[in-house]
Chains A and B, each alone.
Chain A
């Protein structure tokens, strides 16, 4: 969905390096999420943000940090990358105020940590 973009789309880094994955959305949604996807494990929530001043940990936040720079931008950082953080990372957005918390996903960032 072009309304949610992620950069970079692919990234190779080395153990110990700090990297940042960025997400931008033009949907006007106030809620944003970062997920990690591993083969056979589905999507797991890393962090989520309900507005610029609200950041919450998900189920697997260790080793990650986030920044909500604006309503439309939500970045994910790996402070010191390790090989088991090799995965596919997705950003998602949703609109608050409705019983339908449908989330809309970006195209993903494929990260390889050597």
Chain B
């Protein structure tokens, strides 16, 4: 069945270092993926997305990499800042290509930034 999972529940990094948050998905037909950031007391906030016909997409200080061969998605945050401390979720569309609007979310990885 479909599942979206993050590899680590908590990631601790030093301020200024780069962060890499990983996500595995099980449905090889998935064609759209999103990363969300959720700060304490707030709703998930869209960070960046990627379609399956791409391997890499860059935003401001963030990069999403998609490896379809191993069904792996990662979010890279450059020069991590204290404001990046949050829970990060990956999500995939379900069912793929159906434009149903439904998303399946992973369980989330908590990013802790040490000063």
Contacts and interface: CB of A to CB of B under 8 A. Distances in A.
Interface residues of B, number: 24
Given A90-B44, A108-B43, A96 B108 contact: no
Contacts of A25: none
Contacts of A94: 101
A106 B101 contact: no
A105 B102 contact: no
B32 A101 contact: yes
Contact of A105 (B9, B44, B93): B44
B51 interface: yes
B41 to A, nearest CB: 8
Interface residues of A, number: 29
A102 B49 CA distance: 8
Given A42-B89, A108-B43, A101 B103 contact: yes
Contact of A90 (B43, B49, B51, B106): B43
Contacts of A1: 43, 45
B42 interface: yes
B101 A96 contact: yes
A68 interface: no
A31 to B, nearest CB: 5
B101 A42 contact: no
Contacts of A20: none
Interface in B63-103: 89, 93, 99-103
Given A43-B89, A45-B102, A96-B99, 7 more contacts: A42-B89, A42-B108, A43-B105, A44-B105, A48-B102, A103-B103, A106-B43
B34 interface: yes
B88 to A, nearest CB: 11
